[in-house]
Amino acid sequence: MASLLQVDRVQYVFDVDTQDSQSLSRLYFCIYCLGLRSSHNLLHEDDSHFCPQALDSLASAEAVSRKNKCSNSWRCPACLHTLSTRATSTISPPTTDSNKPTVKTVYYQSCTFCRWSTRSVGIDDKEVANDAWMEKENPSLPRINKLLEYYKYLEHKEKVEQARKSPIKKELMSVTMQLKQKYTSSKHSPGKKSMFGDSLSGALSSLRLKDVSSLKDVSIDASSTLALDDVEKLNTDVYKPVQFTAMTSTAQRLDQPGNQIIECSDLAPRRSQMFMKQSLRCKICDHNIIKPEYSPTSIKFKIHLIALNHIPDIRISKPSTLRAGERCQFVLSITNPTEHVIHATFLPMEETKHEINAKIELPTCDIVVGKFDDAAEFVDQLTSTNNTDDASIIAFRRGNKVGFYVHCTPDPALSPGDNVWVGMRFKHEHYGSAPLALLLKGGEVEKEPEPNWLTHSVFINLGKIQSSLE
């Protein structure tokens, strides 16, 4: 889709200092400070974590402790697609209690995308729809926990020894001790235990370093080493013909970093990963630019200031063949997304860091772009044509979209296959923000909005230089 519409051909500058530019469809527009923003220069905030399959929602702290994994939804270990639970009934053989065979409902998981299922790898069907599935634990988890404990102990021991040696720290410790005695005892009224004093002394003693004697000794054996005779030799199985489809790919192996499975027959369902709902905030004015609704079932936004809804979109409407040093004609289109008629003025590009390798001749007069109208597509096209347009500038006019001619001369030094970039600025009035900003704040809408004039720098990739033979 993105490459079909070629949205990356026209780049809007969102950072004046660094001249960083991006396609308008990826940019946001801050209606408070009237500037284009990109996700690179906005403040990210995580709102909530959610699972799009099970529609669970979690606060971020809880999600971190659950390793961002959903407890109800599983995904395929082979293709990482979501697994769906399938129910089927089995007939169990007659038991001693009843002579009739009983029909039971059992569940298994299967992937609708790659047809992998828990049955295909020989995992037994479960009698409960959820929860009965388990994820494999890292087999060396106890050893790693031991390592963590050991290094913490070493550090603590070293710290205690250092504190004992250094005179400065001893003094500091005694000061804290003195303070503690002074303040905790003075607040102590006889016969009545002060809650404050107790909690303070508790906090202080936990801050104090423990004595070496009270430290529990942790010892650890270095991990085992193997000599040549102990190291696993090459299994003779490797000489058998290789089945490419029976072996896991790197992506499947790395999906479970703890136990990297080599054969497809060992794959087991994995808990699916949660996603994060983020809101973005303008660094300059601290207003929210994007704010999703918290509920995982809703795909709506509370605040949704994307640039495409506010800023005229410039596209290449009709390309032409480019040859080095030859003047050629293009049709660019400008689309007005706002509910006000705008006047766009095109200006030449000033100095820029961006590579520009063609000269562009822009229309010298204003271009009037009609307002966006929901009903426009149902109105007969003929009635909306405007005969006052100069046919040498305006190529077509359709509702809120205007096509206009530009001429471009690529540098003669370019060779076939080189991308041709042109730069320009354009100025247009902007109405929407003031009433919208007021509405968001809860104020009343003024009757006659005052337009602001905005200027954008735009880089356009017109295409590649054709070879002269074509």
Residue number, 269 or 292, with CB nearest to another protein = 292
Residue 284 identity? I
**b/e per residue, 215-250, with b = 16+ CB within 10 A?**
eeeeeeeeeeeeeeeeeeeeeeeeeeeeeeeeebee
Choose the binding region for another protein from 224-232, 320-328, 407-415, 453-461 (rule: CB under 8 A): 224-232
| Interaction of residue 36 with another protein, rule CB under 8 A | no
Q: Least distance (Å) from another protein to the CB of residue 117?
A: 21
Q: Least distance (Å) from another protein to the CB of residue 255?
A: 8
Beta bridge partners of 10: 460
Q: Scanning residues 118 to 157, which ones bind another protein (CB under 8 A)?
A: 138, 140-141, 143-145, 147-148, 150-152, 154-155, 157
- How many residues make up the chain in this entry? 470
Q: How many CA atoms lie within 13 A of 432 on its CB side?
A: 22
Helix (H, G, I), strand (E, B) or coil at 175: helix
- Selected binder of another protein within 240, 300, 441, 447 (CB under 8 A): 240
Residue 251 identity? A
Nearby residues of 249 by Cβ (< 8 Å), 6 or more positions away: none
| Interaction of residue 213 with another protein, rule CB under 8 A | no
d(CA 197, CA 182): 11
User: Which of these, 426, 424, 429, 427, lies nearest to 459 by C-alpha position?
Assistant: 424
Choose the binding region for another protein from 40-48, 121-129, 201-209, 410-418 (rule: CB under 8 A): 40-48
Q: Scanning residues 283 to 342, which ones bind another protein (CB under 8 A)?
A: 294
- Residues in the interface with another protein (CB under 8 A) total 71
Q: Least distance (Å) from another protein to the CB of residue 130?
A: 23
- Selected binder of another protein within 98, 186, 223, 387 (CB under 8 A): 223
Structural contact between residues 421 and 459, judged by C-beta atoms closer than 8 angstroms: yes
Q: Scanning residues 41 to 60, which ones bind another protein (CB under 8 A)?
A: 44-49, 59-60
Residue number, 20 or 266, with CB nearest to another protein = 20
- Selected binder of another protein within 228, 299, 375, 413 (CB under 8 A): 228
Q: Least distance (Å) from another protein to the CB of residue 381?
A: 33
Q: Least distance (Å) from another protein to the CB of residue 351?
A: 18
Residue number, 20 or 361, with CB nearest to another protein = 20
User: Which of these, 14, 31, 15, lies nearest to 338 by C-alpha position?
Assistant: 31
| Interaction of residue 216 with another protein, rule CB under 8 A | no
- Selected binder of another protein within 93, 190, 257, 412 (CB under 8 A): 257
| Interaction of residue 169 with another protein, rule CB under 8 A | no
Q: CA–CA distance from 246 to each of 130, 238, 243, 420 (Å)? A: 28, 13, 5, 48
Name the CA dihedral angle for 19, 21, 24, 27, rounded to a multiple of 10 degrees.
-90
Choose the binding region for another protein from 62-70, 192-200, 393-401, 453-461 (rule: CB under 8 A): 62-70
Cα angle 280, 282, 285 (rounded to 5 degrees) comes to: 145
Q: Least distance (Å) from another protein to the CB of residue 89?
A: 35
Helix (H, G, I), strand (E, B) or coil at 364: coil
Q: Scanning residues 63 to 82, which ones bind another protein (CB under 8 A)?
A: 63-64, 67-68
Q: Least distance (Å) from another protein to the CB of residue 48?
A: 6
